């Protein structure tokens, strides 16, 4: 049972890492397209070292809206998973609520 839980944890970590990398690529392309590569690089470095990820979410929105030419609603829907997968505090709270044992009888 422990091996299965460890394997599922490994799979979940691989999925979250892949989603985070894809969103970083989309954020880079969106910020680069609208503001230029210097602002895109500063936003990515700032988000990696300071753990402030709103710049990445804005970059994903800009990528969806200006590179893929989606409507604002579709761009927001593409950005919403970033709140769960990239923002650490929301992801931590979600996993704590889901993985905590049920104490209500």
> Would you say residue 27 lies in a domain?
yes
Distances (CA, A) of 16 to 3, 12, 21, 73, 101: 20, 6, 9, 24, 23
> Would you say residue 44 lies in a domain?
yes
- Supply the pLDDT for residue 89: 67
> Would you say residue 82 lies in a domain?
yes
The model's pLDDT over 13-32, given as tens digits with 9 standing for 90+, comes to 898 889 888 988 999 999 99
Rounded to two decimals, what is the model's pTM?
0.72
> Would you say residue 105 lies in a domain?
no
Q: How confident is the model at residue 105 (pLDDT cuts 50, 70, 90)?
A: low
The model's pLDDT over 43-74, given as tens digits with 9 standing for 90+, comes to 888 888 877 778 888 999 999 999 999 999 99
From 36, 27, 15, 2, select the one nearest 84 (Cα to Cα).
15
In the chain, the number of structural domains is 1
- Supply the pLDDT for residue 37: 94
Q: Show the domain range for 13.
A: 2-99
> Would you say residue 79 lies in a domain?
yes
> Would you say residue 36 lies in a domain?
yes
- Supply the pLDDT for residue 16: 82
From 92, 87, 93, select the one nearest 20 (Cα to Cα).
87
> Would you say residue 104 lies in a domain?
no
């Amino acid at each position: 049972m422990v091996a299965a839980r460890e394997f599922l944890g490994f799979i979940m970590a691989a999925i979250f890492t892949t989603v985070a990398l894809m969103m970083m690529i989309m954020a880079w392309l969106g910020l680069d397209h609208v503001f230029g590569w210097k602002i895109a690089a500063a936003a990515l470095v700032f988000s990696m070292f300071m753990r402030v990820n709103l710049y990445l979410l804005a970059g994903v929105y800009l990528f969806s809206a200006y590179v893929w030419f989606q409507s604002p609603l579709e761009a927001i829907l593409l950005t919403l998973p970033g709140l769960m997968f990239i923002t650490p505090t929301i992801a931590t709270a979600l996993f704590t609520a889901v993985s905590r044992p049920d104490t209500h009888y």
